[in-house]
Each structure stands twice: as C-alpha cells, then as structure tokens.
Amino acid sequence: MLFVAAHQVAVTRLLPVRAGFHLSGMTRHTITTSLMAGTLSVGALMISPAGAQDAAGPAEPAAVPPDARGEGAATPAAPSFDAAWERAAGFAALETLLIAQGGETLVDAGFRGNRTDRATNIKSASKSVVATLVGIAIDKGSIKGVDQPISDFLASDFPADPDPRLARVTVGHLLSMQAGLERTSGGNYGAWISSRNWVRDALRRPFVSDSGGPMLYSTGSTHLLSAILTKTTGRSTLQLARDWLGPAGVRVTDWERDPQGIYLGGNQMAMTPHSLLAFGELYRRGGLAADGTRVLSERWIAESWTPRTTSRFHDGRYGYGWFIDRFAGHEGRYGWGYGGQMIYVIPDLQLTVAITSDETQPSARSGYVANLHRLVSETIVPAAEARLALPAATSLPKS
C-alpha cells in the first residue's frame, strides 16, 4: 500500500505503483490516491496556476536549524526512489519532484494538483541560470572573462561621484556575491524594486566591504549581470536564455523586467520543473545537451563549482551561482530559490533532482530547506547508490 498524507494527492510517476495497480514500462500516467476513500484510479491532472510574485522579494537564506526529525522525516526502509516519492508526499509545501539518474527520469511527481509540465516561479534558483548565461557569453567571447571590470559595461550607469572601489568590481565578484556593495536583498529589496532604475540603484549603494571580501547575498548583483549580458550582446537576457539553453531542453517561459526592460537577474523567472531538471542535467553531462551538442564548456562548470566564499547565514560554500555541500558523503551542488525551489546535481552518482515548492512559504528559517537536504541525503542518495550497485545488465545507461 502507498503511504501518503490522508487527503487527496494528485501525482505523475514513472515508477511502478503498488496496491494492485501496475504501470507497464515507463508510460506516464496520472494517479489520484485517496486513502480516505480507499481508492486508486487514473484520472486527469488538476491545473494549478504558476506561483504569484512575492512582492516582498526573496528572503535572505538564513541559518539552517540543527538536524531534527520533523516533517518528512525518514523511516527505516530499503533504499529506493519509491521511498523517496512517499517521503516527499509528506511535505505540505512540496509541489513537484523529479529525479533523474544517468540521464533516465525515474520519478516525475506532482503533488496536490501541481504538475511538472506547468511553469512555476523558480525564484532565486534563477541565479544559477543567469550565471550560466554569463559563462556562455565568456565562452563566446562577448565577455572577456571573470576578471573583466564591470565599468567596461556599466560606466554610464555609475553615480556622478562614484566610490573608487566601484572601478575594481569585476564580473567574477558579481557572480560570487563578493562585490562589496550594500545588498539589495532582504530588507532592502522593496526599496530597490521601487526605484526608477534598478541598475543605477544597485550601483549607487555604499560599500560595506571591499570587493572580493565576504559573501553579500544580493539579487542586485545578478541583476547587474543581466544588464551586462544585455549591453554586450545587444539582446535581451530572455532571448539569450531561449537561444543558448534551448538545445539542452531548458526554456524560460516568462520573466519579470525592470523599468528599463532588463530582465530581472536572479528572481521572478518562470519555467517548468521539467526545464529545471534539464538545466541540472546540462551540468551533470558536463555542458552537453542530450544529443551531444556542446552548450556550455566544461571549464565553466569547473569554475562555477569551485568554492569561492561562504554564506554567513548558513555556512554554505558558494561558487558562481551555485551552493556547494556534501550529501551523505557525496559532493553536490545546488541552486536555491525562496520557498524551496531546488536543483541538485551530485555528479559521482550521475544524479539530478529538481524540487519546486509553495513559493509563498519561507524555506530557510522554517527548516524546510534543511528537510529537503535530508530528503536528498537520507532517501534519494541511498537509492541512487543502490541503483549504481545493480548488476551490469540493469545498470545505468551511459550519458
């Protein structure tokens, strides 16, 4: 029997279903499970709207509470992706879960009427996407490299009497959140997006540390990267994302813009969970699309996944648009958006996990993201390890 919350849950799965109902092969079906009614039937997915914009802006990633058995806590069971699906169903805020290993999607689930082919707001997980576009621009020569000063692109937007340190801020400092400028996130977010010019407002802010110093998580930094991409290529960041990432199966369906029409680097980006998974898979495959087309250089992936600083809010290491941590002994990288919009890549297990959640709920201070990390470490990683240990005849496909 399938143990989930005792209310109706709509899901799409790529796993065999127990309770006497079998899915042939890997055909996708929609399953409506109602433990209260004691029924299991195939039906139509409910359509839920994409998440509404969070007017308060992205909350600063905060301290992750100590390990505790709470919502979605693990129960003793043999490691399997089926167990991961069951555990995920117990999270009230979790909306979709996709798990792929070796290029094969093994779990494709939407809970409580949510669906994996419906666009949703990935919030600050879009920072990983913007960093990727910068990497491609460097690969193409539109940007010279991470050491290029931002004054080469944005000098006309500098304040009239700029702090001399502004000339020393580089593209790399923006990517690693080490510009030194006062943050535009957290309590400053509302005033920033209420300004007439978001680029100039971010650049006029005082320095609170020298560039290259501590990590200062700021959506303003990634928005400056979006402005740089727009100026150096002559194309909108949305056009670049669709053109450059499209071959990898990644599609941005909608994206908020600033008063000057520059797409908001680092927040308010809509894509389907399938696209979010495809984005993680692009990194897992070393920058190749599924058909072998080179989209992103391996060099840039190595640069992005090199720890450069540490968040003072939760001690997470950070590279270029990616957090870096260990999950049950395996090195992993993840993008994180407010509410629990997550993309995890664990290369040595050939594992990619995409999670979307209720974007209106806090994810850090509530302990929710800590619970998602435990879902990965305690349930998904053991299942991936077990699958890698299968005999050669049933081992993972090469990709």
User: What is the distance between the alpha carbons of residues 151 and 173, in angstroms, rounded to a whole number?
Assistant: 13
User: Domain ends where: 264, 292, 320?
Assistant: 320
Q: The dihedral of CA 348, 66, 124, 166: what is its sign? A: negative
Residue 241 has pLDDT above 80, yes or no: yes
* Counted domains in the chain: 3
370 lies in some domain: yes
pLDDT for 311 equals: 84
345, two tokens: 């890549």
273 lies in some domain: yes
State the SS3 of the chain: CCCCCCCCEEEEECCCCCCCCCCCCCCCEEEEEECCCCEEEECCCCCCCCCCCCCCCCCCCCCCCCCCCCCCCCCCCCCCHHHHHHHHCCCCCEEEEEEEECCEEEEEEECCCCCCCCCEECHHHHHHHHHHHHHHHHHHCCCCCCCCECHHHHHHHCCCCCCHHHHHCEHHHHHCCCCCECCCCHHHHHHHHHCCCHHHHHHHCCECCCCCCCCCCCHHHHHHHHHHHHHHHCCCHHHHHHHHHHHHCCCCCEECECCCCCECCCCCEEECHHHHHHHHHHHHCCCECCCCCECCCHHHHHHHCCCCEECCCCCCEECCCCEEEEECCEEEEEEEECCCEEEEEEHHHCEEEEEEECCCCCCCCCCHHHHHHHHHHHHHHHHHHHHHCCCHHHCCCCC
pLDDT for 364 equals: 62
How confident is the model over 148-177, as a mean pLDDT?
97
CATH at residue 147: 3.40.710.10
User: What is the distance between the alpha carbons of residues 186 and 192, in angstroms, rounded to a whole number?
Assistant: 10
Residue 278 CB neighbours (<10 A): 23
In this structure, are 292 and 370 located in the same domain? no
Task: Render pLDDT for 304-361 as a digit per residue (tens, 0 to 9).
Answer: 999 999 987 777 899 999 999 999 999 999 999 999 999 999 999 999 999 999 998 8
In this structure, are 132 and 189 located in the same domain? yes
In this structure, are 199 and 268 located in the same domain? yes
314, two tokens: 């939760």
Residue 251 has pLDDT above 50, yes or no: yes
Q: Are 163 and 139 in contact (CB under 8 A)?
A: no
pLDDT for 63 equals: 40
Q: Are 221 and 189 in contact (CB under 8 A)?
A: no
268 lies in some domain: yes
Segments forming the whole domain that contains residue 6: 1-47
Q: Are 63 and 369 in contact (CB under 8 A)?
A: no
Task: Render pLDDT for 107-156 as a digit per residue (tens, 0 to 9).
Answer: 999 999 999 999 999 999 999 999 999 999 999 999 999 999 999 999 99
User: Domain ends where: 288, 303, 320?
Assistant: 320
pTM metric for this prediction: 0.81
222 lies in some domain: yes
How confident is the model over 1-10, as a mean pLDDT?
32
User: What is the distance between the alpha carbons of residues 343 and 331, in angstroms, rounded to a whole number?
Assistant: 14
